[in-house]
Structure 1
Amino acid sequence: MFTGIVMGIGRVLTVTPLADGVHIAVDSRALELEDVRLGDSIAHSGVCLTVVARQGTVLEYDISGETLACSVGLNEPGRELNLEKALRLGDALGGHLVTGHVDGIGTVERFAPVGGSTLLEIRAPVAIAPFLARKGSVAVDGVSLTVNAVRDEPDGSCTFAINLIPHTLAVTTLKNLSPGARVNLEVDPLARYCARVLEYAGRNPAS
């Protein structure tokens, strides 16, 4: 479990093909690594990965083909990734609860300065459009953000808007975005559970 508060920015150093997926090495010197052990979970731009090896400040991971199919950025040498270690009991919950399980891939529609901030508009796929709501939470490449507006599109997808303050841009990879870029999206887990309850109640009205 994570909070969507980025602790540092890493960089993919190497990508080695596996039978089903890849093995990657990530320069993680931006993290405090004293307490990192094999088997620990670390989020990489919103994707929870398990540490399988360590060489100094370089952490290594095995990534399945399924994970690669539903996320972006993990198998690109040189790619910067937002890093966050798993939440521990007693840690501050500065963002919102994030599982590290990507729900879908969004496409940046607009990335432009507005006043002293930056407006980010993202087109979300049909499958997760119902879970995005004004003033709700969403994780974009692992960053906990607040949705300012949602516009439903004719094809069932939606476009949602976010206001990025300068600090967020300075400490995350979001500053590298531009129209056409693809990003990892994870909706608020509470929205998923609410949708499931309503779906179940609709199918079983006597329950």
Structure 2
Amino acid sequence: MFTGIVQGTATLVSVADKENFRTFEMALPPELCEGLETGASVAHNGACLTVTAIEGSHVWVDLMRETLRLTNLGAVAVGDRINIERAARFGDEIGGHAMSGHVVCMAELVELEEAPNNRRLWFEVPAAYGRFLFDKGYIGVDGISLTIGEVRQDDGRAPRFCVNLIPETLARTTLGDRKPGDNVNIEIDPQTQAIVETVERVMASRG
């Protein structure tokens, strides 16, 4: 389990590509390597990956076909930064919301609004996920637990939502580097998804 509180960023040092498969070598900040062992789960831009090897502060993970299809990790290049969160432990403070590290889709950054000391980002998601978006609801964006500021679901357009970012989020994560046209990984709040799908099933059963 993860909390959506990004602990830092890691730099992609090298990539080994095979057919429908990638291996990343990441340079992690030293504090994120303490106690890390092979087999551990680490969220990379919100996608849960398994550590396969460790040498000092360099860590290796493998990405399979489904991960490459659903996430933006297939497009990152050597030198890029990636949001990192170690798996939560019992007793840890949960400052965000419970997240599984299972990315459901990507969203495109379509609009960026600058204001003093903060920034508003508008994202467009595939139509199938619009029903899980609610004003003031939780959402995971590149592994970051965020509160949805507003949702727009106009006729004929893909659903959009915005998030408002404080300087700390911009400094600690990669969202400060995002530009219109970039894709981010999306994890829908699992409680919201469960409620919506349960209501849909009940309504369908009643005709």
Query: Normalization by structure 2: what TM-score?
Result: 0.93
User: How big is the shift at 1:199?
Assistant: 2.8
Choose between structure 1 and 2: higher helix proportion.
2
User: How big is the shift at 1:54?
Assistant: 0.8
State the SS of the aligned residue for 1:175. helix
> Which residue matches 1:33?
33
1:36-83 CA-to-partner distances (Å, cap 9, x unmatched) read 111100000111000011111111011101110000035522221000
User: How big is the shift at 1:15?
Assistant: 1.2
> Which residue matches 2:57?
57
Moved more, 12-21 or 86-95: 12-21
State the SS of the aligned residue for 1:76. coil
Q: Is the 1:39–1:52 Cα contact (8 Å) retained in structure 2? A: yes
- Does 1:23 find its partner at 2:19? no
Runs of 4 or more, structure 1, over 4 Å off, are none
Find the aligned partners of 2:109 and 2:92 in 1 and give their Cα distance.
32
Q: Over the residues paired in the alignment, what is the CA RMSD in angstroms?
A: 1.6
1:60-108 CA-to-partner distances (Å, cap 9, x unmatched) read 0111011100000355222210000001110000001111111111111
State the SS of the aligned residue for 1:127. helix
Moved more, 149-158 or 46-55: 149-158
Find the aligned partners of 2:179 and 2:19 in 1 and give their Cα distance.
33
Unaligned runs of 5+ in 1: none
Find the aligned partners of 1:35 and 1:204 in 2 and give their Cα distance.
50
Find the aligned partners of 2:144 and 2:46 in 1 and give their Cα distance.
7
Query: Normalization by structure 1: what TM-score?
Result: 0.93
User: How big is the shift at 1:191?
Assistant: 1.2
Find the aligned partners of 2:50 and 2:112 in 1 and give their Cα distance.
32
Unaligned runs of 5+ in 2: none
Q: Is the 1:10–1:30 Cα contact (8 Å) retained in structure 2? A: no
State the SS of the aligned residue for 2:38. coil
